[in-house]
Amino acid sequence: MVIWAVVVLSLLFGSQFPRAKTDTDPKHMLPATSPVRVNNDKVEERFELHADWIVLGIVNESGVLNRNTLSKIARITDEVMDVPGVVGHDVVSFTTADNVSAKKQDLYARPLMETVPTTSGETAALRKSLYENPMFVDRLISKDGTTTAIYIPIEKTANGKVIADRIRGLFDKEARDGNGDRFYLAGDPVARDTFGAQMFKQMAVFSPIAGMVMFVALLLMFGSLIPVMAYMAVAMVCVIWAMGGTIGLGIPIHIMSSMSPVFLMAISTDTVHIFNEFYFRFKETGDRESAILDTMRVVGRPLIYTDLTTAAGFACLAAGHIIPVSVFGLLVAFGTLVLLLMSFTLTPALLSLLKPDRLKALTAHEELAESRTSRWLDWLARWSICRSKTVAIVGALLVVVSLVGIQRIRVNNNMVEWFKPQSDVRVADKVINQKLGGTATAYLVAAGDKEGAIKRPDTLRRIERLQRELEKSPLVGKTTSIVDVVKRVNRVMHGDDPKYEVIPDSENVVAQYLLLFSMVGKPRDLNNFVDYPMRQANVWVQMKTWDAVAMQTVMKQISHSAAADGPLRIRPAGTAYFNLVWNNEVLWGMLYGFILSCVLVLVLMALCFRSLRWGLVAGLPLLFTIVVIYGFVGFVGKDFDMPISVLSTLSLGLATDFAIHFIGRFRQRRAELGGNPPLDEVLTWTVARPGKGIVRNAIVFALGFSVMVFAALTPYITVGLFMAAIMLLSAFTTLVYLPALIKLWQRFLLRKGYEQ
């Protein structure tokens, strides 16, 4: 009845999977009412800007200003404008960008390349137009002439990967003519939506592989399909119920919640403790039903403690205002409660299917004296107890060294680096950033004190000084503003004399230039840079990296420049700035939430053991694991990014579990023996018998998720390596450091009234 009930309910939850929706847009990590989202929306509306741009880089080491390459640029531009989801009328390339010129007192704006040059003279004229206009250099043409770009705005609801795939189809045929042209696609929507598509493929490939490896490891450990199938069934039920419930509520799957199956499979290894104790109990009693009941009687209490503390720790993440973080916390918390239910229902039901004759053969070597693993653990326990002071000192030194490493940690996020260095996305981003201004865009809105302030020469000069100051940074590739438009018009209105490429001294002249330009140019050419009351100006900043901390550096430059430049107020916006705010709010928010979760878990463990002393001791493996892991992160230079922040919460469900099982069984053993049994004997038994379940648990999962090092996305490699490290370190800390500390602190811990 239990098995069939679980199957039926699992089918109901599983039926929701076809309704799954994904959301990989980092903007949705923050609420729609968050100030940064509201401000970004206002800036985009005020200056008629597009939120998402795809950059198509075209590289020819012999130079892109040749007839063949220019013909390709013209054809691709025309075809890209017709791709569904592309805002065609705002695509920027040689054939669509306006070049301002003048004849006498008449101003003209014509496409930079109306027709493909057919003679060397026409090509030379195009080259002259490009390099004499600073607005084109490092945006449409690299300084060395080897690279150009087509800037492709896409609709807000469009999928960047789908559009990128369509564009690849356009230039693939152009790349086969042997002309040496290479094409690269970059930009936030390409990285974001490509990652969104790949993450589910990676999970679909590596989760089954991890499960298969764990299946084989469990089969070798327990020698029977029933315990193995029991674990796999419990893990799958937790995943199906948690994910199906989330999807059924209409909640989209975010980047964080996509990793929930990994977490639930890790936490589900709690059932290994049941199998481990069941084998020992059956060996002692020879009766299957009695062995099951005795197992649940002694293992049940630690299971309840571990699952409730784990669920509470993850549920704490829902206290923040970051919706995907809240969803992730509640999803895993619910899955953990499902695990608790399955541990007391489905697992015993499946164990009851084992035949007694088969069990006798399987448990023949499950006595402490006969099991090689138990004998090795017995030796390890005695070694740790005998050298308890040495073990404690070494542990303290490790903590001190790790604290030094923690100070080196940099909280940063860069979605492009979630791809391997040789991936198309990362290579394209690197090439375009090296050759041109950069693929990451930020906007700086400069606000004057009244309407018409932007037309004042002193205001324009302040903006120009800000641009020049920013361009000194190696992180900034190019800046563009209304200043560049005014200087360009001033030059061409003076016979294209370079010495007039300056800001005029008269406000009336500036106003006339802007009026002339608005009459001959495309509306976006002016609207992107100023608002109609001429009170605010927008400075485009192209950055050479998507690192959030890079934008932080730019912000410091802005604050210094703005402070020294009088009343001009500068407010940042754009994707690069959003990433900075997202980085600070989400990652720091998760870090603070994790710290609060740790505090809650420590309190809950003290309540579970009805002893503050034992609660603190049970929390030591958790704290030790966190400090050592983060210390390692700091020393190797790995950023504290989204994958690391998500993984940090996993230690709540592993380090605490092992410690609770160990201490719970240790105290049970003392109560069973009665009186005041020898401490060394009880500790040795705890390491050798329940400790065997801890070792089995750690090895199974470490082996299973080590296969993720072969994934194509770096977050999954990080998940695989760090999950294995957390598992093994948590087990080692529990089996080596806890016995040593209990030995050292026995007078403190085993006083009457505290060991019950």
CA–CA distance, 33 with 465 (Å, rounded to integer): 34
**What is the pLDDT at residue 2?**
93
| CB proximity list for 391: less than 8 A, separation 6 or greater | 384, 736, 737, 740
Sign, Cα dihedral of 547, 425, 632, 318: positive
Domains of the chain: 1-30+223-365 (1.20.1640.10), 50-192 (3.30.70.1320), 368-414+577-756 (1.20.1640.10), 427-576 (no CATH)
CA distances from 701 to 13, 294, 562, 706 (A): 26, 26, 54, 8
Q: Is the pLDDT of residue 639 over 80?
A: yes
Average pLDDT for residues 442-467, to the nearest whole number?
Answer: 91
> How confident is the model at residue 258, as a pLDDT?
75
User: In the predicted model, what is the mean pLDDT of the chain?
Assistant: 86
The single-letter code of the amino acid at 301 is: R
Bridge pairing between strands 106-111 and 98-103: antiparallel
364-416 pLDDT per residue, tens? 665 666 667 888 988 999 999 999 999 999 999 999 999 999 899 888 888 89
The 3-class SS string of 293-309 reads HHHHHHHHHHHHHHHHH
Q: Looking at the predicted structure, is the pLDDT value of residue 754 above 70?
A: no
Select the highest-mean-pLDDT range: 27-41, 221-235, 542-556: 542-556
**CA torsion 737→738→743→744, rounded to 10°?**
60
Q: Tell me the CA distances in angstroms from 534 to 429, 566, 571, one per residue in order.
A: 35, 18, 16
CA-closest candidate to residue 435, choices 140, 174, 191: 140
For residue 356, the tally of other CB atoms under 10 A from its CB is 12
| Residue from 338, 328, 562 nearest 462 by CA | 562
Percent of the chain with pLDDT over 70: 95
- Both tokens of 380, joined, read 């390890």
What is the distance between the alpha carbons of residues 509 and 511, in angstroms, rounded to a whole number? 5
Which one-letter amino acid corresponds to residue 444? L
pLDDT at 725: 86
Q: pLDDT digits over 243-287, tens only?
A: 999 999 988 887 777 778 877 877 787 788 888 888 888 888 888
Q: Find the helix or strand (DSSP H, E) in which 536 lies.
A: strand 536-543
Best CA proximity match to 454, nearest among 577, 555, 573, 567: 567
The pair phi, psi for residue 324, each rounded to 5°, is -60, -35
CA–CA dist 659, 619 (Å, integer)? 7
- State in Å, rounded, how far the first CA of the chain is from the last one: 37
For residues 723 and 266, the answer to whether their CB atoms sit within 8 Å is yes
Rounded average pLDDT over 163-183: 86
**What mean pLDDT is predicted for residues 700-710?**
83
For residue 661, what are its two tokens?
A: 């099982």
DSSP codes joined into one string, 429-451: HHHHHHHSS-SEEEEEEEE-SST
Q: Write down the residue that tokens 């750690």 correspond to.
A: 698
Q: Judge contact between 133 and 99, C-beta under 8 A.
A: yes
Q: How far apart are CA 279 and CA 288, in angstroms?
A: 10
pLDDT at 756: 42
**Can you list the positions of beta strands (E) in 633-727?**
none
Question: At a CB cut-off of 8 Å and minimum separation 6, what does 623 contact?
Answer: 598
Q: How many residues does the chain have?
A: 756
Angle, helix 457-471 to helix 482-492, in steps of 10 degrees:
110
Beta partners for residue 540, in sequence order: 443, 480
Least confident span in 290-304, 402-416, 585-599, 714-728? 585-599
* CB neighbour list of residue 245: distance below 8 Å, 6 or more residues apart: 13, 16, 331, 334
Residues 6+ apart with CB under 8 A from 86: 80, 152, 153, 154, 155, 158, 163
Which residues, listed in sequence order, are joined to residue 543 by a DSSP beta bridge?
Answer: 440, 476
- Residue 752 scores a pLDDT above 80: no
Q: Which of 81-90, 398-407, 517-526 has the lowest mean pLDDT?
A: 517-526
The predicted structure's pLDDT at residue 485: 93
Q: Compute how many other C-beta atoms are within 10 angstroms of the C-beta atom of residue 264.
A: 27
Q: Mean pLDDT across the stretch 544-571?
A: 80
**What is the reported pLDDT for 438?**
92
Q: What is the pLDDT of residue 402?
A: 94
Distance (Å, whole) CA 613 – CA 606 = 7
Looking at residue 649, its pLDDT comes to 67
Q: Which of 238 and 315 is assigned the larger pLDDT? A: 238
* Beta-carbon count within 10 A of 404 CB: 11
Mean pLDDT, rounded, for 184-189: 93
Over 126-181, what HEC string results? HHHHHHCCCCCECCCECCCCCEEEEEEEECCCCCHHHHHHHHHHHHHCHHHCCCCC
Q: What is the mean pLDDT of residues 468-475?
A: 92
- Phi, psi torsion values for 539, nearest 5 degrees: -105, 120
Distance CA 673, CA 99 (A): 91
Would you say residue 534 has pLDDT above 80?
Answer: yes
pLDDT tier at 650, thresholds 50, 70, 90: low
Q: Which residues contact 188 (CB under 8 A, 6 or more apart)?
A: 52, 53, 160, 415, 439, 440, 546, 575
* pLDDT tens-place string over residues 678-701: 999 999 999 988 888 888 888 887
CB 740 within 8 A of CB 392: yes
